[in-house]
């Protein structure tokens, strides 16, 4: 049996793939779907989020985005949902700029993406506002990444849990307190907080920021505060992002009128307090982009912990310890990279697997 | 190159780095190593010094001295509080004092900065204040007991270089504490110019962390600071309107 430690979008996706392949599997998590996946906005936006030093991350993201439509369709079917039940949408990301400085940044980004062979469109301010009439009139121009998509992570984890239940996969709602080792140091199971044990042929560590409490992985919590607003009618048709005072803010619309505004990035350890300053900055910046947001109802504010690695790439694959496999360290990309993560673990992506190989950090600590 | 001495502490590198804007810790780590820096500022706001695996761990592992800064503070009160929290958490009484006047320009507020500097010096801190390129304020802060002064070349993150080299020269002439050019550096020639003007060190972050190749730009900055320092010590030739033959025209 395989034991998956961590019931976020990554751990549940792995459990689901293994169960579909006929493997006996158990998930351990005190509150499945309530960690970083619960806070996440669900942007599947590898193109609009690229930076100069992160081409490997872009490659992973593009490969995983390609897998998302099939993943979502199969999951919806397996969970007994209507097609489209995960609110997966692919109308692109619109990155907007206000002043001349921000326009220059967009120009540079467009040139860079063009060099990488990724299709983006440069738009004038008026073209941006024709696409998104609620944008502030002060928008000078934008960059549309037409292939970028997004999904509702809360619906995804709920669907994964439903699909696992239909396949009779046990989800143990307890915290894993430690790993069980045999005399040779191999991992042979998981010790539960209440004292119980789960024996396993293979333990998959997918505990996000908490992975570091179970194994010596270079993963740290990166706090993100995020806000959910609600309106009767959707305010936007696609993901909108922009830099305000140098800080990047994004707005992700859902079909049901929810609008997600995110997110701060803070190095605060295991702290999930929502702060006045965090919310203030999100709202201030969101209002610069879309003045109408101030009329919306605040439906949810939450802080989650992204599992950050030193190079922002995930750790997927054999840990170096017999019986222990890593699927953690997805940082800001857990939702995007979940389909690719399962594929890597199933041996379907050998070339990209090398980029995520945990062995790259052996000399790091 | 001769050592940089701040508050009695010696540094063989005259390049002080900031950590803001790095896309990942690994990129930051490589850039810091390439820069050869021995002193690096870290913003204490939204950072838990006790958490593992953070930017502080990168600095500790590389043996780089941490200079906590009060970035994000708008009042002297906040800055003093942030400095005290940093002293407690990091066991250093050094602080880069930064009190911002507004979010659009991020220019330093001279009145709040001076107020905070006085209070921090009285509380036993080694204070390195970030200020505008104002010779009078630099002088007053030195008299108030600051261990260095850090005038800007241009606004933070702007990469506009040194907009008023004359004022930087005036600050250097009058100062008997180290003058550290802080903010505005865009590329290597800006850093070299700061040193040629007589600054004792250069502090920069964005120019490296947001460059297309941060490690390469860090190396360029390191070399530029050395080149600028050596040129300053060598003494440049006077500028002339017409040519002067470097070898005799006639035997």
pLDDT at B96 over 70: yes
B106: nearest CA partner in chain A: A245
B213, A52: Cβ pair inside 8 Å? Answer: yes
List the domain boundaries for chain A.
1-88+149-219+309-365
pLDDT at A364 (0 to 100)? 46
- Average pLDDT value for residue range A328-347: 96
A54, B24: Cβ pair inside 8 Å? Answer: yes
A220, B55: Cβ pair inside 8 Å? Answer: no
- A163-187 pLDDT, tens digit each: 999 999 999 999 999 999 999 999 9
B61: nearest CA partner in chain A: A365
Catalytic residue positions of B, numbered: 96
B157 touches chain A (CB under 8 A): yes
CATH architecture of B4-234: Alpha-Beta Barrel (3.20)
CATH topology of domain A1-88+149-219+309-365: FAD/NAD(P)-binding domain (3.50.50)
A281: nearest CA partner in chain B: B103
A270, B47: Cβ pair inside 8 Å? Answer: no
pLDDT at A365 over 50: no
B23 touches chain A (CB under 8 A): yes
- B26-82 pLDDT, tens digit each: 999 999 999 999 999 999 887 888 878 888 888 999 999 999 999 989 999 999 999
List the domain boundaries for chain B.
4-234
Whether ipTM tops 0.95, in short, is no
Per CB-CB distance under 8 Å, the chain B contacts of A270 are 51
- Average pLDDT value for residue range A250-276: 93
Q: In the 3-class helix/strand/coil scheme, how is chain A assigned residue by residue?
A: CEEEECCCHHHHHHHHHHHHCCCCEEEECCCCCCCHHHHCCCEECCCCCCCCCCHHHHHHHHHHHHHHHHHHHHHHHHHCCCCCCCCCECCCEEEEECCHHHHHHHHHHHHHHHHCCCCCEEEEHHHHHHHCCCCCCCCCEEEEECCCEECCHHHHHHHHHHHHHHCCCCEECCCEEEEEECCCCCEEEEEECCCCEEECCEEEECCHHHHHHCCCCCCEEEEEEEEEEECCCCCCCCEEEEEECCEEEEEEECCCCEEEEECCCEECCCCCCCCHHHHHHHHHHHHHHCHHHHHCEEEEEEEEEEEECCCCCCEEEECCCCCEEEEECCHHHHHHHHHHHHHHHCCCCHHHHHHHCHHHHCCCC
Per CB-CB distance under 8 Å, the chain A contacts of B211 are 52
């Amino acid at each position: 049996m395989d034991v998956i430690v961590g019931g976020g979008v990554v751990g549940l996706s792995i459990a689901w793939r293994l169960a579909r392949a006929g493997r006996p599997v158990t998930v351990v998590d005190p509150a499945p779907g309530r960690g970083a996946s619960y806070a996440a906005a669900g942007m599947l936006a590898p193109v609009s989020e690229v930076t100069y030093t992160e081409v490997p991350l872009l490659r992973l993201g593009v490969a995983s985005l390609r897998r998302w439509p099939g993943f979502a369709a199969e999951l919806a079917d397996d969970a007994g949902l209507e097609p489209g039940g995960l609110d997966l949408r692919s109308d692109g990301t619109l990155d907007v700029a206000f002043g001349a400085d921000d326009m220059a940044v967009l120009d540079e980004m467009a040139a860079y993406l063009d060099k990488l062979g990724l299709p983006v469109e440069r738009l004038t301010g008026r073209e941006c506002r024709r696409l998104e009439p609620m944008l502030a009139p002060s928008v000078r121009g934008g960059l549309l990444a037409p292939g970028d998509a997004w999904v509702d992570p809360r619906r995804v984890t709920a669907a994964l849990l439903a699909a696992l239940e239909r396949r009779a996969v046990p989800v143990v709602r307890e915290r894993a307190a430690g790993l069980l080792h045999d005399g040779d140091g191999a991992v042979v199971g998981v010790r539960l907080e209440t004292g119980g044990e789960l024996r396993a042929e293979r333990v998959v560590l997918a505990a996000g920021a908490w992975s570091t409490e179970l194994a010596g992985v270079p993963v740290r919590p990166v706090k993100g505060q995020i806000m959910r607003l609600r309106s009767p009618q959707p305010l936007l048709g696609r993901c909108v992002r922009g830099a305000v005072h140098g800080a990047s803010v994004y707005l992700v619309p859902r079909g049901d009128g929810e609008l997600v505004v995110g997110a701060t990035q803070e190095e605060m350890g295991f702290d999930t307090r929502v702060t006045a300053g965090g919310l203030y900055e999100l709202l201030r910046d969101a209002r610069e982009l879309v003045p109408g947001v101030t009329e919306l109802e605040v439906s949810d504010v939450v802080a989650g912990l992204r599992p950050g690695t030193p190079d922002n790439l995930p750790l997927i694959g054999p840990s170096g310890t017999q019986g222990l496999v890593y699927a953690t360290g997805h940082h800001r990309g857990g939702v995007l990279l979940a389909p690719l993560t399962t594929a890597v673990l199933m041996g379907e992506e050998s070339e990209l697997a090398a980029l995520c190989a945990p062995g790259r950090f052996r000399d790091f600590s | 190159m001769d050592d940089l001495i701040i508050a009695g502490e010696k540094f063989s590198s005259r390049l002080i780095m900031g950590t803001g804007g790095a896309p990942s810790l690994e990129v930051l780590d490589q850039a810091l190593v390439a820069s050869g820096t021995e002193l690096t500022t870290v913003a204490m706001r939204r950072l838990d010094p006790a958490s593992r695996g953070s930017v502080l761990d990168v600095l500790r592992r590389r043996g780089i001295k941490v200079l906590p800064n009060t970035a994000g503070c708008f009042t002297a009160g906040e800055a003093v509080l942030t400095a005290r929290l940093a002293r407690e958490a990091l066991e250093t009484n050094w602080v880069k004092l930064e009190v911002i006047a507004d979010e659009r320009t991020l220019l330093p507020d001279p009145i709040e900065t001076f107020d905070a500097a006085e209070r921090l010096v009285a509380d036993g801190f080694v204070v390195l204040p970030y200020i505008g390129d104002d010779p009078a304020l630099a002088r007053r802060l030195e008299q108030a007991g600051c261990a260095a002064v850090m005038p800007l070349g241009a606004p933070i993150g702007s990469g506009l270089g040194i907009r008023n080299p004359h004022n930087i020269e005036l600050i250097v002439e009058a100062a008997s504490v180290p003058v550290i050019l802080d903010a505005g550096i865009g590329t290597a020639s800006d850093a070299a110019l700061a040193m040629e003007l007589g600054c004792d060190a250069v502090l920069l972050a964005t120019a490296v962390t947001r460059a297309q190749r941060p490690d390469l730009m860090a190396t360029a900055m390191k070399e530029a600071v050395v080149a600028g320092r050596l040129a300053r010590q060598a003494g440049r030739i006077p500028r002339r309107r017409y040519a002067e033959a470097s070898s005799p025209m006639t035997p």
